[in-house]
Structure 1
Amino acid sequence: MDIELKTLTARLLAHRVVNRGDPLARRALLDDIFRHELDRRLAEVGLRLVENPYAEHIAVTLLPPMMEPVFGADDSWLNNNLGLPRDGVALLVILWAQIILPKRERQIARVEAGHENQSDMFGAQKPLETGETVSTGVSEDALYADFGKALGGRTRFNANLGRLANLGFVVRRNRMLLEGPMLDLMIDYSQMAPRIIEGALADVLGRRQALAPDGAADGMEAR
């Protein structure tokens, strides 16, 4: 088991993500003893495993007590350790909201529908829906039309998209932005989703409804 733990840990650090279908990744998710030892070894260097049943990959991130020592504090606080500028982080959050939030809604709906129609005694052990079957892309042109000027203009927008693609957050294909292996892992859905849905998004929709002519707001759809 020792060599397998070393191999998986080294791959997580070297490649940043490992597909959850990989034999060692599956063992980390299903073997309690293996997972406990993996968690212990990662914790010794201030890291923890990141995974969720809806994501196709696993990765590592900092333990909460390590946030301040790594990112600094007060005026020297870094908003990320990937070299992203503030407008790059803002673009990342926008992409997460437009790709992951709708995907998660579809995944949860499918799981709930499956539970309602479940008739076999082993149905609960079936894997959850993941991957491109439920993930849709975002048009680069539409994204720039909506947010490009606020994010620094065409040059900054393209530069930040390139950074996010290189880091594995998105895949650029025929002027469409598709989910990359890091996008569903590096932002905590349980914390971010309520902030977007109940906070910033609610404010935006509220302002649009206030400014729209009577009845116009009813026809608006999320992209």
Structure 2
Amino acid sequence: MTEDAQILIARLLAHQTLRRDDKLVKRALSDELFRADLDGRLKACGMKFIDNVYADYVTLALTRDSEAKVFGTRETWQNNNVGLARDGVALLVVLWSLIILPKRERQEAHQLAEEDQNDMFGKEKPLPRAEDTSIGISYRALLADFGDKLGKKTRMDMNLGQLARIGFIERKGDLICEGPLLDLLMDTDTLKDRIINGALSDIFQIPATRTPAVLGMPVADESVAPDTTDSTEDQ
């Protein structure tokens, strides 16, 4: 058990993400003793194992206690926004909203991306994988809808490239698709209400019930930090 936990941690550090159907990952998700060993080793290093039943991958992240010691050495503490400028953070939240929220609705309805009608026995099926329910969005449509707010084409292209390198998205021609980290490092419970009823209420056709939320990075499993002072209005 000890050697397997060590190997799994080393592989996650080397590859950043691993699929949920990986042999050792499946063991970490089902074997309580193995998971306890894994969590103990990671905690000793200021890290933790991140998994999400809606995502096809798992990853590692810093614990809250270790964030300040790791990121606070800079003159300006960017926390763990992975170096993204505020328009990049806003773009990330927009992409999460347009890709992940619809995907999760399809997963919870046990509906595959290509299905046109509901299966009356669908609830008896296992939760569909992300790759079977996630639908990309058009780059041209994204640019038309959000380009003016997110720095126009040059800035958007630069930020999309950075998001792709980090692992949040994948580019497939004109399509922008979910990357391994997009549904792992964002806190749906915190973000969903803020976005649907706030910052993006016009997109989802739902009247805002309070002051629109700032499009900042949420505290997501303590792996992506908030940016509560910035807004995309001045981009």
Deviation of the 1:18 alpha carbon: 0.5
Quote the residue 1:158 is aligned against.
157
Q: For 1:35-74, what aligned pairs fall within 5 Å after superposition?
A: 35-72=35-72
Deviation of the 1:153 alpha carbon: 1.8
Instruction: Supply the RMSD in Å over aligned alpha carbons.
Output: 2.6
- Is the Cα–Cα contact under 8 Å of residues 137 and 177 in structure 1 kept in the other structure? yes
- Is the Cα–Cα contact under 8 Å of residues 71 and 81 in structure 1 kept in the other structure? no
Q: Distance in 2 between matches of 1:67 and 1:190?
A: 22
Deviation of the 1:80 alpha carbon: 2.8
Quote the residue 1:221 is aligned against.
none
Deviation of the 1:25 alpha carbon: 0.3
Larger radius of gyration: 1
Are the structure 2 counterparts of residues 158 and 118 from structure 1 closer, same or farther at C-alpha, using a change threshold of 3 Å?
A: closer
Are the structure 2 counterparts of residues 92 and 106 from structure 1 closer, same or farther at C-alpha, using a change threshold of 3 Å?
A: same
Q: Distance in 1 between matches of 2:122 and 2:171?
A: 38
SS at match of 1:55: coil
Q: Distance in 1 between matches of 2:60 and 2:40?
A: 13
Deviation of the 1:21 alpha carbon: 0.4
- Is the Cα–Cα contact under 8 Å of residues 50 and 58 in structure 1 kept in the other structure? yes
- State, as a whole percentage, how many aligned pairs show the same letter: 47
Quote the residue 2:171 is aligned against.
172
- Is the Cα–Cα contact under 8 Å of residues 169 and 176 in structure 2 kept in the other structure? yes
Quote the residue 1:86 is aligned against.
86
SS at match of 2:58: strand
Quote the residue 2:20 is aligned against.
20
In structure 1, stretches of 5+ residues that fail to align are 208-223
Quote the residue 2:201 is aligned against.
202
Moved more, 191-200 or 43-52: 191-200
Q: For 1:127-142, what aligned pairs fall within 5 Å after superposition?
A: 127-142=126-141
SS at match of 2:110: helix
Are the structure 2 counterparts of residues 159 and 172 from structure 1 closer, same or farther at C-alpha, using a change threshold of 3 Å?
A: same
Q: Distance in 2 between matches of 1:81 and 1:2?
A: 33
Q: Distance in 1 between matches of 2:165 and 2:190?
A: 25
The one-letter amino acid of 2:104's match is R
Quote the residue 1:6 is aligned against.
6
Deviation of the 1:118 alpha carbon: 8.2
Deviation of the 1:198 alpha carbon: 2.6
**Structure with greater helix share of residues:** 1
SS at match of 2:59: strand
In structure 2, stretches of 5+ residues that fail to align are 112-117, 209-235
The one-letter amino acid of 1:144's match is L
Q: Distance in 2 between matches of 1:134 and 1:118?
A: 14
Are 2:190 and 1:191 aligned? yes
